[in-house]
Amino acid sequence: MLETEKIFLEEKARIIRKHIISMLGEAGSGHPGGSLSAADIVAALFFHHMNIDPARPHWEHRDRFILSKGHAAPVLYAALAEAGFFDTKELKYLRKTGHMLQGHPDMKSTPGVEISTGSLGQGLAVGNGMALAAKLDGRDYRVFVLMGDGEIQEGMIWEAAMAAAHYKLDNLVGILDYNGLQIDGPITQVMNPEPIVDKWKAFGWHVIVIDGHDFEEIISALEQADRIEGKPTLILAKTIKGKGVSFMENQVDWHGKAPSKEEMELALKELSQGEVLERWETLK
């Protein structure tokens, strides 16, 4: 990919992370860790790879994105707002009664949200349905399902994985946010899902392992998935929980705890300086 494209995506991810921190600080509750870890993946999808039109959120030819780990709603809301699905001013009303940005994505109230999620394990099955519908209707849109690594402890994920391979859903891409931590601790201690790569391959999927914070690797994997025929693709993205905020990185306590006012200000300060911002300012 071009260096200018990479810098553009780095800046979008930085802005998304700032939105996440501001939203959660204002709300006083929510999930920063897994939202921050997925920011680069979501930025690559919404601002480079997916075929979408914010002016037509129900456009029948659009690519579909499903946030299966619905508790990471802040990363989705930030991307949707930045992409133009709704005004960024709405972000300050996260989890506020009477407003559209609930604690988990709500397809009935939020433009750009394809399916209401939050009960872990369901997103891949829904993605199967969308991908199969595209096949049956002769449409060329693609379906992307972002899952958590703790989430794949759910049995429904593996039923869906088996079904996707059976129906040869090569228009379906599962993306695993593999940060190694869930609410109760390291995933390998709570309910060890390893060997993850071998399991997805055994279920009939094409598997790509990447650094989930390297845009060249993310885009390359997405483009490779576009070329795979006859089977679905799983992109295992190795990430850092809380990525971008030093005191949140790799800390399980930040799975579901909002920052205090002081912590929010410190995090926003970190995200408002550094190499990414300098590269963007130089590009401009």
CATH of the domain at 41: 3.40.50.970
Cβ–Cβ under 8 Å, residues 21 and 245: yes
Total domains in the chain come to: 1
pLDDT band for 22, please (50, 70, 90 cuts).
very high
The pTM (predicted TM-score) of the whole model is 0.96
For 157-198, the pLDDT digits (tens) are 999 999 999 999 999 999 999 999 999 999 999 999 999 999
Q: What are the Cα distances from residue 67, in Å, to 8, 113, 262? A: 23, 9, 30
Full DSSP string of 229-279: -SS-EEEEEE--TTTT-TTTTT-GGGSS----HHHHHHHHHHHTSSHHHHH
Residue 131 lies in domain: 3-283
Alpha carbon distance 247, 267 (integer Å): 8
Q: Are 70 and 55 in contact (CB under 8 A)?
A: no
What whole-number distance in Å separates Cα of residue 127 and Cα of residue 160?
9
In this predicted structure, the answer to whether residue 274 has a pLDDT above a threshold of 80 is no
How many CA atoms are closer than 13 Å to the CA of 261, on its beta-carbon side? 0
Average pLDDT over residues 142-162: 98
pLDDT in tens, 48-85: 999 999 999 999 999 999 999 999 999 999 999 999 99
- Say which residue the tokens 């399916």 belong to: 115
Q: How many helices (H) and strands (E) does the chain have?
A: 11, 7
Q: Which residue has the tokens 């992409």?
A: 83
Gap between the Cα atoms of 253 and 183, Å rounded: 8
